[in-house]
Structures are given as structure tokens and as C-alpha cells.
Amino acid sequence: MDKHQNSASLVIHIDEETQTLIDRAAELAGSTLEQFLIQAATKEALAVEIEALHISVSNQTADRILQHLENPKPASLELRKAALKHRQVAHQYRTKDSR
């Protein structure tokens, strides 16, 4: 099986100084340039994803959030109207697509 069968290509343009830095770093890491770039990009992508999706709060704030989740306020009239409108629009959209 071809190792590139389920892979994608990426073309980048960088200045010579950056290219030299990356080449040196890959060599020092004992990796090919391709391996080094994939590892570095993956590491950065995971860090960005964690930063974007992870929420840190104090214990006091966490307790307040749990209190609100366990004892929610009743939905306001405006919220109930918005939910009904959303349900109607979603139903129209689904029935339009199923034709």
C-alpha cells in the first residue's frame, strides 16, 4: 500500500533565514524536514486547540456554575419564544431538504 495514498500535500513559502533555522532544528532533532514540520505543526495545533477549548476557573466560580446548573432559573418568556421560533425554522429547513 502506498504510504501517501491517504495524505495531503502542503506547499509553503518561507524566507531563507527561516528555512535555515528549520533545517538546523530538524537535523538537531534527528528528524527529516518533513517529520520535523509535521511534529511541530501538530504540537502547535494541539496547543491552540487546548487553549481555545479549555476553560480555567477558580473553585469559587466552579461552585457557582454548578449551583446554577443544579438550580436553573425558569426560562424567560423571551427565551421560550426564541426557542419556539428556532424549532419552527429548523423544522422548515429539515422538511425543505427532505423533498
The model's confidence at residue 59, banded by pLDDT at 50, 70 and 90, is very high
pTM of the model: 0.54
The model's confidence at residue 7, banded by pLDDT at 50, 70 and 90, is confident
The model's confidence at residue 5, banded by pLDDT at 50, 70 and 90, is confident
Given a cut of 60, is residue 2 above it in pLDDT?
Answer: no
Q: In angstroms, rounded to a whole number, what is the distance separating the alpha carbons of residues 61 and 36?
A: 41
Distances (CA, A) of 5 to 1, 42, 86: 8, 20, 43
Cell (9 digits) for 92:
422548515
